[in-house]
Amino acid sequence: MRTGTELLSGVTVPLVTPMDPGGQPSAAASLALLEAMHAAGVRRLMLLGSNGEGPLIPTAAFAPFVADVVAHWRSLSESGVVTVNVTAPGTLDAVGRATIAADAGADALVMSPPIYFHHRDVEIVDHYAALAGSGLPVIAYNAPRYSNPITDAVLDGLLELEHVVGIKDSSGDLAFLTQLVARGRRRPGFAVSQGAETKLAAALDAGADGITPGIANIAPGLSLQLAGAHAAGQRDQAQRLQARITELTKIHTIRPGTPTVKEILAQRSLCPPHVAPPLRRCDEAERHALHEFITPHEDQLLRPVKGSAA
């Protein structure tokens, strides 16, 4: 079983999910994006998270998509990491998704506390304990915007579960992140990754092992450079790169969320613009505004691989 440090160090891209026009995930439509990510230096992917529209995708559609994406990523990067988000409203559905991810060859599972209902802390810990039978390490995903938060009591319980090897925190609360780092270090191999895009450098300063920024879907190089600069002790350079990333996140003032990211990738022939219903793709005015916004940042953006078989 891989450790959290192996799974979460450096940069993980929470990959968008390329889809067919009906909103079903399409591994075939993912090839150009996967090859461009590999060429840019990305080695860690997370599938079916919030950027990947995971909660909107039926469990029945998971298996072929995850298996084919994992297989293609392995063909590009033999030692590359693929984690799969299995977040669901209830434990039985999460376990079903976890079984599919394990059978598909994923390296680890990612899971938020159960969504929709408010649950007691002990119930949330039970939810994570139920994944022990998957045989895969589990990364807890703190996304209080979408699910029950990971409280101090929940964290106590998670740190007692051997198969929970790390936490991805997207709360944006640096004080809480610092606490996660300090407490996680009491367990060898336990790791913490930060997903709040405007606080990546600050999170690394606070001791996070890695970052998982959604904006890396369109500009992975900036995040890779930021992590590299921080590791080299180049804090001023890391702050400059953070400023560039923060500027790019203003795409979400035009239209928040994954449809915006997919539209930018579609304009670069890297991903279809289709999204899972009830989401709608960007309209004509939004597409024009995004094109206008992104043009000055062209040198920072992900590029298709020339001669790609995709």
> What distance in Å separates the CA atoms of residue 187 and residue 166, rounded to the nearest whole number?
10
pLDDT at position 215, please? 98
pLDDT at position 285, please? 98
The H or E element that residue 111 is part of is strand 108-111
> pLDDT (tens digit, 9 = 90+) per residue, 272-302?
999 999 999 999 999 999 999 999 999 999 9
pLDDT at position 30, please? 98
Q: Which domains are delineated in the chain?
A: 4-300 (3.20.20.70)
pLDDT at position 120, please? 96
pLDDT tens digits for the chain (310 residues)? 899 999 999 999 999 999 999 999 999 999 999 999 999 999 999 999 999 999 999 999 999 999 999 999 999 998 899 999 999 999 999 999 999 999 999 999 999 999 989 999 999 999 999 999 999 999 999 998 889 999 999 999 999 999 999 999 999 999 999 999 999 999 999 999 999 999 999 999 999 999 999 999 999 999 999 999 999 999 999 999 999 999 999 999 999 999 999 999 999 999 999 999 999 999 999 999 999 999 999 999 999 998 765 4
> What distance in Å separates the CA atoms of residue 176 and residue 152, rounded to the nearest whole number?
9
> pLDDT (tens digit, 9 = 90+) per residue, 82-95?
999 999 999 999 99
Closest CA to 185 of 159, 215, 164: 159
End-to-end CA distance of the chain: 33
- Integer Rg of the chain from CA: 18
Q: How many Cα neighbours within 13 Å face the side chain of 218?
A: 30
